[in-house]
Structure 1
Amino acid sequence: MRMLVMFSSTIGSAVGWWAGAPFGIMTAFMVSMVGTAIGVWAGRRLATHWGL
Protein backbone atom coordinates (compact mmCIF):
# COMPACT_ATOMS: atom_id res chain seq x y z
CA MET A 1 0.00 0.00 0.00
CA ARG A 2 2.77 2.45 0.88
CA MET A 3 4.55 1.90 -2.42
CA LEU A 4 1.34 2.45 -4.38
CA VAL A 5 0.59 5.67 -2.49
CA MET A 6 4.16 6.87 -3.00
CA PHE A 7 4.04 6.08 -6.70
CA SER A 8 0.65 7.75 -7.25
CA SER A 9 1.66 10.85 -5.27
CA THR A 10 4.83 11.17 -7.35
CA ILE A 11 2.83 10.91 -10.57
CA GLY A 12 0.28 13.44 -9.27
CA SER A 13 3.05 15.82 -8.29
CA ALA A 14 4.73 15.57 -11.68
CA VAL A 15 1.46 16.16 -13.52
CA GLY A 16 0.73 19.15 -11.29
CA TRP A 17 4.17 20.63 -11.88
CA TRP A 18 3.83 20.13 -15.63
CA ALA A 19 0.41 21.82 -15.60
CA GLY A 20 1.53 24.81 -13.51
CA ALA A 21 4.98 25.41 -14.98
CA PRO A 22 3.86 27.66 -17.86
CA PHE A 23 2.49 30.14 -15.30
CA GLY A 24 5.61 30.41 -13.14
CA ILE A 25 7.54 28.46 -10.55
CA MET A 26 5.29 29.35 -7.61
CA THR A 27 2.19 28.29 -9.50
CA ALA A 28 3.93 25.07 -10.49
CA PHE A 29 4.77 24.42 -6.84
CA MET A 30 1.21 25.05 -5.64
CA VAL A 31 -0.39 22.94 -8.38
CA SER A 32 2.19 20.23 -7.65
CA MET A 33 1.09 20.15 -4.01
CA VAL A 34 -2.53 19.76 -5.10
CA GLY A 35 -1.44 17.00 -7.47
CA THR A 36 0.39 15.26 -4.63
CA ALA A 37 -2.72 15.35 -2.44
CA ILE A 38 -4.86 13.97 -5.26
CA GLY A 39 -2.26 11.27 -5.89
CA VAL A 40 -2.24 10.23 -2.23
CA TRP A 41 -6.03 10.10 -2.19
CA ALA A 42 -6.18 8.09 -5.42
CA GLY A 43 -3.44 5.71 -4.30
CA ARG A 44 -5.11 4.98 -0.98
CA ARG A 45 -8.45 4.49 -2.65
CA LEU A 46 -6.96 2.15 -5.25
CA ALA A 47 -5.07 0.19 -2.58
CA THR A 48 -8.26 -0.20 -0.57
CA HIS A 49 -10.15 -1.30 -3.67
CA TRP A 50 -7.48 -3.92 -4.43
CA GLY A 51 -7.44 -5.06 -0.81
CA LEU A 52 -3.81 -4.16 -0.06
Structure 2
Amino acid sequence: MMAFVGATIGGYAGWAAGEPFGIFTAFVVSIVLTAAGGYYGRKMGKYYGG
Protein backbone atom coordinates (compact mmCIF):
# COMPACT_ATOMS: atom_id res chain seq x y z
CA MET A 1 0.00 0.00 0.00
CA MET A 2 2.80 2.40 0.86
CA ALA A 3 4.47 1.72 -2.49
CA PHE A 4 1.27 2.79 -4.24
CA VAL A 5 0.99 5.95 -2.13
CA GLY A 6 4.66 6.80 -2.69
CA ALA A 7 4.38 6.22 -6.43
CA THR A 8 1.28 8.40 -6.66
CA ILE A 9 2.87 11.26 -4.74
CA GLY A 10 6.13 10.91 -6.68
CA GLY A 11 4.35 10.90 -10.03
CA TYR A 12 2.34 13.98 -9.19
CA ALA A 13 5.40 15.82 -7.89
CA GLY A 14 7.38 14.86 -10.99
CA TRP A 15 4.67 16.09 -13.32
CA ALA A 16 4.36 19.37 -11.42
CA ALA A 17 8.14 19.87 -11.46
CA GLY A 18 8.61 19.07 -15.15
CA GLU A 19 5.49 20.69 -16.61
CA PRO A 20 6.93 24.21 -16.93
CA PHE A 21 9.55 22.78 -19.31
CA GLY A 22 7.13 20.94 -21.59
CA ILE A 23 4.95 17.87 -21.66
CA PHE A 24 7.73 15.44 -22.56
CA THR A 25 9.93 16.68 -19.72
CA ALA A 26 6.98 16.37 -17.35
CA PHE A 27 6.40 12.80 -18.53
CA VAL A 28 10.02 11.74 -18.07
CA VAL A 29 10.42 13.39 -14.66
CA SER A 30 7.10 11.87 -13.60
CA ILE A 31 8.29 8.38 -14.55
CA VAL A 32 11.53 8.79 -12.60
CA LEU A 33 9.82 10.13 -9.48
CA THR A 34 7.08 7.50 -9.70
CA ALA A 35 9.74 4.80 -9.54
CA ALA A 36 11.57 6.54 -6.71
CA GLY A 37 8.34 7.07 -4.79
CA GLY A 38 7.39 3.42 -5.16
CA TYR A 39 10.80 2.29 -4.01
CA TYR A 40 10.97 4.53 -0.96
CA GLY A 41 7.31 3.97 -0.15
CA ARG A 42 7.93 0.22 -0.07
CA LYS A 43 11.00 0.72 2.13
CA MET A 44 9.03 2.94 4.50
CA GLY A 45 6.20 0.41 4.61
CA LYS A 46 8.59 -2.38 5.58
CA TYR A 47 10.32 -0.23 8.18
CA TYR A 48 7.16 1.03 9.89
CA GLY A 49 4.80 -1.83 9.08
CA GLY A 50 6.95 -4.74 10.07
For normalisation by structure 2, the TM-score amounts to 0.92
Structure 2: gaps spanning 5 or more residues: none
Partner of 1:47: 45
Does 2:25 match 1:32? Answer: no
RMSD after superposition: 0.6
1:14 maps onto 2:12 in alignment: yes
Question: Displaced runs of 4+ in structure 1, greater than 3 A?
Answer: none
Per-residue deviation, 1:10: 0.3
Number of aligned residues: 49
